[in-house]
Amino acid sequence: MRINIISAGTVFLLASLLACSDDSSSPTATPPPSSEHRKVVQIRDNFFSPKDLVVSVGDTVEWVNLGSAEHTSTSGPGCTADGKWTSALLSNGQKFSVIFDADHVNVTGNIPYFCIPHCALNMKGTITVNP
């Protein structure tokens, strides 16, 4: 019988401590973008899939190299970088992301992009950012 009284007392004490705890010191992690706000462009050898993509302000676009050659994602018309973004050379399996918002790439409308090593082979695409 004594064990039951101690167990009940222990349960009461733990419940009281939990009810009074202040969790405000815990850091809050920023969650990754939901799949609704994350779009993926596959980089294949000498083409992007999809080539043209429509996103909204706040969306993240992730390029994933699934080809055997190294590729980039570089913003700009024709084969001229305009400085909005450029990835390093991405090997197979590597990824590169751009967030289209006021803190990162703050542009709406059509944004052309290309692969630096393969632009002459017409490896180009367009991101259309809607407000």
CB–CB of 64/42 below 8 Å? Answer: yes
- The beta-strand segments (E) located in the chain are 38-44, 47-49, 52-56, 60-65, 74-75, 95-99, 109-114, 124-130
pLDDT digits (tens, 9 = 90+) for 35-77: 679 999 999 999 999 999 999 999 999 999 999 999 999 999 9
The domain 39-130 belongs to what CATH superfamily? Cupredoxins -  blue copper proteins (2.60.40.420)
pLDDT digits (tens, 9 = 90+) for 72-115: 999 999 999 999 999 999 999 999 999 999 999 999 999 999 99
pLDDT, residue 33, reads 54
